[in-house]
Structure 1
Amino acid sequence: PNKKKTSLLNRFFNGFNRWFDNITSKYIRVLSKFADRSSITVGLLVLFCILTWGTSRFLPSGFIPSEDQGMVYVSVTTPQGATVERTEKVLDEVTRIAKQIEGVDNVTTLAGYSIVTEIAGASYGMGMINLKNWSDRNISVNEFIAQLTQKTKGISDAQIEIFAPPTVPGFGNTSGFELRLLDKSGGPISNTDEVTKNFIKELNASPEIQNSFTSFDATFPQYLIHIDYDLAAKKGVSVDNAMSTLQTMLGSFYATNFIRFSQMYKVMVQAGPQFRKNPESILDMYLKNDAGEMVPFSTFVKLERVYGPEVLTRYNMYMSAMINGEPAAGYSSGEAIAAVEKLAAEKLPQKFELEWSGMTREEILSGNQTIYIFALCLLFVYLLLAA
C-alpha cells in the first residue's frame, strides 16, 4: 500500500511540474518579445492609468452599499405643540398598518423621542420594525419600506419618514446621505427655516434623490421671557438665581438619593402640577432676594408669545439645519451627492453653504484618495519585482 501511495504522489507531482514548466516557458517566450520594447510597456501602463481614471470618472461611484439588516426605522413628527397622546395615536396607527404587511416580526414604538435628532419632545415619535429572518419572508427591506410608505400616506396628522438603519452603526442615524445647511448670514431663524424648506423641495424634485426631509422647524409655539435687569437689581434679585429657580420649578432639579426597602430612589425638586399648568403660571411664582424676602416674578418678568425651533443646532459655530435623504432607485450615492452639490450651487442664496456629515462625509474624504492608492500599488509592484 505504501508503494502504491508513493507512486500516485510521484505521478501527481511529475504531472504538475510538467504543466508548470510548460506555462513558464510560454510566459518567457511571450515576455521576451515585448521586454525590450519600452514603447509597448509604457503604452500598457498609460492605458491602464486611463482605464482607471475613466472608471472613476464616468461610472457611478458609491461607498458602502446598503444591506438588508432586517430592521426598519420610523420617524413620526406631529404638528407643533401636539401632545404625547396625539403622537401615540399616530404610532399606534403605523403599528397596525405595519403588522398587515408580510414579513413583520414585531414593532416597537416610543412617543416623545426623535430617532433622527436624538432629542425629546411631545411632538416626536419613533418606531423600530423588526422583520422576520430572510428565509421566512419573500420581501426585502426596500420593498417593505415602499409598501409601508404608500400605506401610511393616508395619515395626515403627522409627517412620517421610513428608512433603513445606517450601514455602519455610529455614522448617523439613517441610511442615505446626511448634510448640514449652514446659515452664515446672521439673519433671523425664520429665514433659515424658509431656505431649508425650499431647498428640500428642490431636492425631492431632482430625479437622483428621494425621501429628503429635515427635523428643523422654526414654527414651534414658544414663550420668550423678557427680564427687566434694572428692576430686578432694585428688588435684590440675581437674574442667574431667577433662571435657576425657574429651572427647578418647571423642569425639576435633582437633589439627592435615599434608600428604602433595599432600593435607591432619586429626590427631584419641582413645583406641583397645579402651580405650572400654563405659561402664565410663571408670573405667579416667587423667589428669594438677597435680603431673604419673597419677590414675585411678575415684578420684573414679562412673557411674549413667539415661534421658533424647538432645538437650536450649530455646526462649525453657524446656525444649521440637518437634512437627510436617499439616492433614488437606479442611482448611486455618488450621483446623489453630485446632484445635491449642483442644486446647492444653483439654488441656495448667498451666505448659505453645505457641510456633509456622517457616513457621507467619510465617503467624500475617501473618494479623493483613489489616485494615491493606485500610485502606491504601482510602487509596491515595482519594489516587489525589483527584489
Structure 2
Amino acid sequence: MDKPKVVLGVSGGIAAYKACELLRRLTESGHEVRVVPTDSALHFVGAATWSALSGNPVTTEVWDSVHEVPHVRIGQSADLVVVAPATADLLAKAAHGLADDLLTNTLLTARCPVVFAPAMHTEMWEHPATQENVATLRRRGAVVIEPAVGRLTGVDTGKGRLPEPGEIFEVCRRVLARGIEERPLDLAGRHVVVSAGGTREPLDPVRFLGNRSTGKQGYALARAAVARGARVTLVSANSELPDPAGADVVRVGTAVQLREAVVKAAADADAVVMAAAVADFRPATYAEGKIKKRDGHEPDPIVLVRNPDVLAEISADRARPGQVIVGFAAETDDVLANGRAKLARKGCDLLVVNEVGEHKTFGSEANEAVVLAADGTETPVPYGPKEALADTVWDLVADRLG
C-alpha cells in the first residue's frame, strides 16, 4: 500500500523546533512527509534539517521546480496537512485565502483534512482578530487545536504554548484515519465536556478514599472529540496522563470540585460525557492532623456522607435544549441488569456499562462495554483499544445531536 502523504507546514515561531519531533513520529509510523516551511520558520530550523529528517526536498518558494507545479501538486496529493506551529499571521492568511508562499498555496489547494496547531503569546491568541480567524477556519472544516497553557517565550506564562508533539501526532493520526474513511468532522462547531480520572476524598492531610481509575478512557474520549472537530473541556480528577492536545484541561481533586467544574463547563456544552469514577461517599469529617495509631485502642469508625450525584443532576437539569448526557457504569456483577437500572435512575441519554475489577478496565489500554440508550437500544463494543470505545460513544452522541 502507498504510504499516507502528509504535508507538515511550519510557520515562524520559536516552537518550530518541536515540529522536528512531530516529523520523526510521522515518518517512523509509516507516513511520507513533505515539510513546507515559511521563510520565517527557516530562521529557527534550517532547510537541511527538514530535508534530512523527512527524506524529501524542502523549499518555501513557488518558483522552485516550476515544471512540477509544486504550489498546486503538493496540496492536491496530500492525505493530511498539519501546520505546527501555526502563528497568528499564518492563521490570518489561511482564513482569508492569501497565498504568498508555498505553504499558503498548499493550504488553498488541499482537499484533504487540515490541522492547525497554533502557538503564540496569550495576548495574540486572545485577540478578537485571531479568534475570528480560528472560528472561520473551524467553520470551513479545519481542525484548529486549542493551544496549551504553560511557559511561553521568555518569562511569560499563559495559554498559547504549542501542545506536546506526541499529542499533536495523536490528533493527526486520528484525523488522517477518519479522512481516509471519508467520515466527516461530525463534532465540528460543538462544545463537549468530558470528565476523567478518579476523585479522592481526604481523610486527613496524608490519606484519602479513592479508586483505581487512571483516566485513560476519559482521555481517549477527549482525544477522539478533538480529532472530530469539537471544542473539548476535559475535567480531570487526579490523572497523571499528559494533556490531550486541543483540550482545555480543568484539574480537580474531590467529587464536590468535579461537580462544580462540570456544571460550569456544561453551561454551553452540546454534550457531557461523565467518564470519571466519582466517589459516591466522602468522610463526614476531615482530620486537620494525621490520624495516629494509639496502642490498645481501636480506630474510630469513619462516618461517610453522600457526595452529590453529578450525573443525575445534569441529566435532570439540562443546561440547554438538546444537550446529550452520557454516563459510565462500572459494575462487578449483574452488569447489564445493574446498568439498565442505573440508566433509568440517572435519566441520561446513554450509559456505557463495563465490568471492572482489580485487573479489569482500570489502568488497561483496552476496554469492553455495552452502550445502553434511553430509547432501549443496546450497542455492544467488543474488547479492544479504548479509543475504539470512544469513537463508538461519539458516533452515538453525534447521531443524537443531528
- Settle same-fold status: TM greater than 0.5: no
Give me the TM-score of the superposition, normalised by structure 2.
0.22
Which is helix-richer, 1 or 2?
1
Q: Which has the higher contact order (CA 8 A, sep 6+)?
A: 1
Give me the TM-score of the superposition, normalised by structure 1.
0.22
